[in-house]
Amino acid sequence: MARPIVPNPPLAVGLMLTACLFIAGSTLMAKLAGTDTLGEPLHPLQVSHGRFLFAWMLVASLAVVMRLRIRQPNLKLHALRTLSGWGGVSLMFAAVAFIPMADATAISFLNPVFAMMLAIPLLGERVGPVRWAAAGIALIGALVLLRPTPASFQPAALLALAAAVVMGLEITLIKLLSGREGPLQILFINNSLGLIIASLAVIPVWAIPSPEQWMALVGVGILMALAQMAYVNAMARAEASLVAPFAYATLIFAAAFDTAVFARLPDTITVLGAAIIIAGAALLAWRETRAARLARRNG
């Protein structure tokens, strides 16, 4: 029998910050592979394939070492979750090839907003005025980042927005899986199905990567797998209300990588739009945390 995980808030915060660093690093590797920085740009579907291929190799190795036994998986739910995750990742990788990482990362923080909206028809949840207000604030921030003027509109930002919608669906499906299956089983099945989907999708666009691009693809997969592991362990060692706000550090790391590698400093619109999105997402997180505490007290 597995030993229970001992709560450790400082370690949980450190793990969450590590997950943020790895997510930003994975996005950076995807941008390097998807632009002409390391050679002829690879198609986003090929970058997504690299993400699942090398992440699967790491997770599968861990599953062998830990002697994972698959117990009563909901394969239909896993398939829907993985398909949405693959679609979201592919759209995100396409977006960062054209717009700053900071912009794409900020727009990705709309995930919980779209998850909230999708939970209404899929989970039958009721949404009150505070949650709708939080969603409205975050969407205003996204509109700012889209720069909706003829002179500054970023069409590629719509790819990041679409990624946020699809990843919001993935969050909703993860809610249905959580509590039913173990974290390692979920990770293994997710990456296994994702590898199958990505391998089929990449066939028409496959190109031989340069040695540097191979290294970037390895980085995309390994860093994403490590980020997933760090995130899961962070959430297991402290309440979500403590560690979740630190997830916004991903934006700081993404902006830092953009500046260091591509010499792109966040402009005023990026800072403003990101701040508005974070304000809306933070309000939504506060509302969800408060509701969860009330439910525990009454339950």
pLDDT of residue 165: 92
CA angle at 190 for the pair 213 and 176, rounded to the nearest 5°: 140
Distance between CA atoms of 128 and 105, rounded to whole angstroms?
27
Are 168 and 115 spatial neighbours (Cβ–Cβ below 8 Å)?
A: yes
Q: Would you tell me the crossing angle of helices 129-146 and 268-298 to the nearest 10 degrees? A: 160
pLDDT in tens, 237-278: 877 667 777 888 888 899 999 999 998 888 888 889 889 988
Average pLDDT over residues 13-19: 91
Contacts of 211 (CB under 8 A, 6+ apart): none
Are 166 and 117 spatial neighbours (Cβ–Cβ below 8 Å)?
A: no
Amino acid at 113: V
Q: Answer whether residue 2 shows pLDDT above 60.
A: no
Domain ranges of the chain: 9-298
pLDDT in tens, 38-95: 999 999 999 999 999 999 999 999 999 999 999 889 999 999 999 999 999 999 999 9
pLDDT band, residue 231 (cuts 50/70/90)? confident
- Residue 131: Cβ within 10 Å count: 20
Are 98 and 156 spatial neighbours (Cβ–Cβ below 8 Å)?
A: yes
Are 102 and 261 spatial neighbours (Cβ–Cβ below 8 Å)?
A: no
* Closest to 214 measured CA to CA, from 73, 20, 21, 49: 49
Contacts of 159 (CB under 8 A, 6+ apart): 91, 92, 94, 95, 98
Q: Answer whether residue 279 shows pLDDT above 80.
A: yes
Amino acid at 150: P
Mean pLDDT of the chain: 87
Average pLDDT over residues 87-105: 92
pLDDT of residue 151: 64
Q: Model-level pTM?
A: 0.85
Distance between CA atoms of 80 and 58, rounded to whole angstroms?
22
Q: Would you tell me the crossing angle of helices 9-34 and 211-237 to the nearest 10 degrees? A: 160
Amino acid at 279: A
pLDDT of residue 295: 67
Contacts of 239 (CB under 8 A, 6+ apart): 289
- Residue 275: Cβ within 10 Å count: 14
- Between 118-122, 145-149, 154-158, the lowest mean confidence (pLDDT) is in 145-149
pLDDT band, residue 192 (cuts 50/70/90)? very high
pLDDT band, residue 1 (cuts 50/70/90)? very low
pLDDT in tens, 165-183: 999 888 888 777 766 777 8
Are 207 and 47 spatial neighbours (Cβ–Cβ below 8 Å)?
A: no
Q: What single DSSP character describes residue 205?
A: G
